[in-house]
Amino acid sequence: MKTFEGSMTALATPFLDGALDEGAFRALVRFQLDGGTNVLLPMGTTGEAVTMDADERARAIAVVVDEVKGRVPVVAGAGSNSTRETIDSVRRAREVGADGALIVTPYYNKPTQAGLVEHYRAIAKAHPGFPLIAYNVPGRTGVDLLPETVLQLCDIPEVVALKEATGNLIRAVDLVEKCGDRMTFLSGDDFTVLPFIACGGKGVISVSSNVAPRMMADLVAAARSNDIAKARGLQVRMNALHRLLFVESNPIPVKWALHLMGMFGPEVRLPLVPMGEANAAKLKAELSGLGLLKA
């Protein structure tokens, strides 16, 4: 089974007049490949997957797979708060050529830890041999996938990695202590890439790499090769960008940033709305300072 590590981008989804802008999406994929991104992840939170129907999501994944042409792995966001629906979403992702699936813990219905294990077990049973990345983001889902539970997931061969988005570095150490090298741990928090890798992580699933793929790829590579000075410099240099990309609900700011960079329009789907003027001005100034805007 494939494993996934390095600098991994949770792709934003461009819309034009309410529909997927396939040309702009392909351009974003090429921008990521040129910037050294190791893995692409369409249809996550950043991709506004929850506002897209199943056919739209499948088409978006297919576009990424077609544009990538096997140069890097494509991991499709396929999680929901329904195990049955998640199993079907993984099926659709497989059918259009995804290399793996990112499965967020079920949100809103707040399963127990035992329920989380059975959720992942059922998905793996339905898709034997297909790599899954579990995704823990309690700030959005209302449920925390605890280290003791992740240890139980190690018994499921299809669960090859965990995206850990608590930003808690004690948690990062606890995970490595319990699971060792059995599972690949990926930061889901742009603010802590260097310390997370120092604690045993092998990469990041990033929002900021949408707009700064080369900087994030260089940061991850430096951290993984123990070039701490370079990695620290890049982590600090990108810190203000991270703050501004999360100053309003993701993906509002990152889509505005990509709009300012000439990649595509800032269109988001309700209940999200475009970025407020004051924050937008701050984001533009930071992008300019980082040299990310066209002259």
The model's pLDDT over 149-203, given as tens digits with 9 standing for 90+, comes to 999 999 999 999 999 999 999 999 999 999 999 999 999 999 999 999 999 999 9
pLDDT at 251 over 80: yes
**Amino acid identity for residue 176 in this structure:** V
- Binding residue ranges for pyruvate: 46, 205
Instruction: Please determine, for residue 238, whether its predicted confidence score (pLDDT) is greater than 80.
Output: yes
Query: Residue 163 catalytic?
Result: yes
- The answer to whether 108 is a known catalytic residue is no
DSSP SS3 for 22 = helix
For the chain, how far is it from start to end, CA to CA, in angstroms? 44
pLDDT digits (tens, 9 = 90+) for 77-102: 999 999 999 999 999 999 999 999 99
Residue 24, classed as helix, strand or coil, is helix
**pLDDT score recorded for residue 266:** 94
Calpha distance 100→55 (Å, rounded): 18
Q: Which of 2, 107, 110, 135 is an active site residue?
A: 135
Residues 221-245 have a mean pLDDT of 98
Q: What mean pLDDT value characterizes the chain?
A: 97
- Which residues are part of a known binding site? 46, 205
2 pLDDT higher than 90: no
> DSSP assignment, residue 290?
T
Percent of the chain with pLDDT over 90: 98
Domains detected in the chain: 6-225 (3.20.20.70)
Catalytic residue, chosen from 69, 120, 163, 282, is 163
DSSP secondary structure letters along 211-260 = T-HHHHHHHHHHHHTT-HHHHHHHHHHTHHHHHHHTSSSTTHHHHHHHHH
Average pLDDT over residues 26-31: 98
Q: What is the pLDDT of residue 261?
A: 97
